[in-house]
Chains A and B, each alone.
Chain A
């Protein structure tokens, strides 16, 4: 008998090659002649060259592939329960998942919606299948993440916070930055949002820290569910990156697009850095209990994923097409993460505001201090005393850290652009839009809000560009409110009507849990409203003082 004879060879029949299948499917489209499709998604870009589909996958192979991936995910979740995962999971980690998983399903489903926008704008039909698959992928991501959150809620020791998740997402002062991220995918110029901001920058660069780096940290904290779900999610991203790059290449063909591409790459890179690094950096560095000095810090991972992989191999080559790349922005972001302790200031801000959150934040310990100092030299001098205060004030009966003048923390102004506060105090700038004063975390945030999100850019009309709107400064929603009333209004109270959802510790004991009465009597103020109410001299003095920063008092 021939040794090479296999069942496959006996039963194989001539099939249609993948490239040919993709070509025929791309031919499903046509140019309508009876009724034209309405251009309901505005853009200032000109797109004439049909983008190519680099993946050439068709739905016939896509659906079985995704079902198989799902089977692995749900099988792993079942196995995690059988293996009693939650017995050994680190609550410090799972608590931060209340914030992360409140945010992420909305950006995901927004990405699904945005596929309608690029699908309509891209000429030709080559990429239509790619956009279709991405649309269904994002539907997958959104509902698989909601399922994971439900799973945590059903099996983790403290379900409070998970149980109000989508309500909390709409209200919390921390999730506001996630809303800026998600709305950025679907609002304003369709190419700016759905192509450059979403695909070319968020998915190509920052999903590596979101969906690869973070799952690693989850596993170190006994959480095998998050890696299972999110690495499966990440496996879809390579197709999305292909869609984005192909669309970008077709836009590059039009020289008049170059100014807009430069603008949008700049805005998208800076805002992804400001938002994603704030959130994911905090989860990874402050949500972990693992202090192995051999593992990479968030900054080190950022250097690998964003600086080396994305900046050097994706952004830099765009220069040969005539796109101006702002190298200094990448360097500035890197310096913010390392020298200026951006992530640590964000974690500090979240901790100061713990009572108006919907998850627990535990104090950092001696072991944490040592690791931080090792990875971020100078950390202890700036943040050590703060975390000692945080631990001391985590007990009921103490004055809430947000209002405790012994600590020395100065509540920050909110950045009108990225919505993360102006935490690197010396970088804070102000400007006016339509005669109104606003605060910004950095000059690039000011540029984004004032120059990029406008009806004209460098003399060129940009009528499709979006605008920043709404009650963007969260604090102004509760200006002059008592903190307890604000928390009640937010719905961040447990069903007994008095115990706070958030707690500044991981002590699962009713006696230790803060209630509305423990935080009553402190009045919230909007830094922006307060600033606007000052006289020009007062304002100048206040801003100069703000930029000098603050010193945390010694905690004895």
Chain B
């Protein structure tokens, strides 16, 4: 039997010996966006392989039509470098859980303290109906967007795109559940509160049918980037923010409700981050050195489809602004703000809002 020559170095720690690359302490297979790779880049870039980069043997299992696990034609958009995108929110698992957990703690604290202080007794009666029917309906819209994004995160060509879509889905799922449990909990303190009314409104009330059609159109899209585009660049400013910021956040307190704005507020902060991610991705595509014109044309067609649906949805919601006793904000003002918001987003991308 033999005996292996014992290594001279008795420590496994960095710096215990000097030899070629003993100081190579950075990932060196991708170009960082800035001077040095960020933590997010280190844990994200190239985890999803690409036959055009390092996947020597190509995809080794295919669908029956011959396509591999990830192909560029899952979207009609084109890019000369899909790998250029880095999510501005730099989300990875640790930051994601920290953020989501903080939101949950805040939401639960608001609800618990509000209920303890009997806050729901001060809610205006008409406002209670609004929460029951309309916030109750809205939770389904958020859920529909969440499932669309869950679907979309399967198809992106890079890990950066798919992870940004995945965290977007996670935020939406959380919000849909937060609203569900918030209504269930305040419902216990409000005699006669009908927890099933929201879903009925979502499925049957004329007010909500435009929104449902817009959401279902996003759910039914088969182009993952169209889903991501329609949600963050169109539906959210024209319908999502309109209802959350333009109505719930502004109208609740004057109707005796300080809880709902807090429950909803996290969604607005989430959207700012997801909007930044989306604008960065689509900006890369509309300024692509080979495919800018194609992409602009495509996005313009997506705008044509989804802006029309979102406008119809927003118009359908208009009667809700008339329902509270106290009306500190008018639908028209909120609507103007959302149109302005869309314009600002589209200016960033060199796109134009379709004419009404």
Contact = CB atoms under 8 A, between A and B. Distances in A.
Interface in A32-60: 32-38, 40-42, 58-60
Contact of A29 (B5, B143, B220): B143
B199 to A, nearest CB: 6
A147 B39 CA distance: 8
B60 interface: yes
A469 B27 CA distance: 30
Size bin of chain B's contact surface: 35 or more
A14 interface: yes
A211 B46 CA distance: 23
Contacts of B151: 37, 40, 116, 119-120
Nearest to B196: A27
A165 B27 contact: yes
Contacts of A169: 49, 54
Contacts of B61: 180, 183-184, 187-188, 466-470
B4 A160 contact: no
B143 to A, nearest CB: 4
Given A15-B185, A16-B184, A509 B96 contact: no
B7 interface: yes
B166 A87 contact: no
B17 A469 contact: no
Interface string B160-175: 0011001101100110
Interface stretch (B119-127, B211-219, B250-258): B211-219
Interface in A44-82: 58-60, 63-64, 66-67, 70, 74
B154 A116 contact: yes
B320 interface: no
Nearest to A184: B61
Interface string A140-182: 1111101100100111111110011111011100001001100
A117 B152 CA distance: 10
B269 interface: no
B272 interface: no
A28 B45 CA distance: 34
B154 A139 contact: no
Nearest to A147: B43
Contacts of B47: 105-106, 109, 142, 146, 166
Given A29-B143, A66-B101, A495-B24, A467 B62 contact: yes
Contacts of B202: 30
B75 interface: no
B318 interface: no
Interface in A244-289: none
Contacts of A363: 2, 4
B97 A166 contact: no
B25 A153 contact: yes
B147 interface: yes
Given A165-B27, A508-B16, A140 B11 contact: no
A410 interface: no
A84 B16 CA distance: 12
Given A35-B213, A183-B60, A60 B177 contact: yes
Nearest to A93: B12
A181 to B, nearest CB: 10
Interface string B28-56: 11100000000100111111110001111
Contacts of A176: 57, 60
Q: Which of A465, A467, A499 has the most CB of B within 10 A?
A: A467
Contacts of B166: 112, 135-136, 139
Interface stretch (B64-72, B280-288, B324-332, B348-356): B64-72
B140 interface: yes
Size bin of chain A's contact surface: 35 or more
A279 to B, nearest CB: 16
A379 B356 CA distance: 79
B190 interface: no
Nearest to B22: A158
B54 A166 contact: yes
B211 to A, nearest CB: 11
A472 interface: yes
Contacts of B115: 13
A90 B7 CA distance: 11
A94 B154 contact: no
B183 to A, nearest CB: 9
A156 B169 CA distance: 37
Interface string A445-477: 000000000010000000111111111101001
Top 7 nearest A-B pairs (CB, nearest first) are A170-B54, A35-B220, A470-B58, A146-B43, A67-B101, A167-B29, A86-B13
Interface of B: 1-5, 7-9, 11-30, 39, 42-49, 53-64, 66, 68-69, 92-94, 96-98, 100-101, 103-105, 107-108, 112, 115-116, 139-140, 143, 146-147, 150-154, 159, 162-163, 166-167, 169-170, 173-174, 176-178, 180-181, 184-185, 188, 195, 199, 202-203, 212-213, 216-217, 219-222
29 contacts: A13-B115, A15-B185, A16-B188, A24-B181, A25-B180, A35-B220, A37-B220, A38-B221, A41-B154, A63-B101, A67-B98, A91-B7, A105-B47, A106-B49, A113-B154, A119-B150, A129-B177, A132-B173, A135-B170, A136-B170, A139-B163, A146-B42, A155-B14, A157-B13, A163-B25, A170-B53, A391-B4, A468-B61, A472-B57
Interface of A: 11, 13-16, 20-21, 24-25, 27-30, 32-38, 40-42, 58-60, 63-64, 66-67, 70, 74, 84, 86-91, 94, 105-106, 109-110, 112-117, 119-120, 128-129, 131-132, 135-136, 139-144, 146-147, 150, 153-160, 163-167, 169-171, 176, 179-180, 183-184, 186-188, 222, 362-366, 369, 384, 387-388, 391-392, 419, 455, 463-472, 474, 477, 490-491, 494-496, 499, 501, 505-510, 513
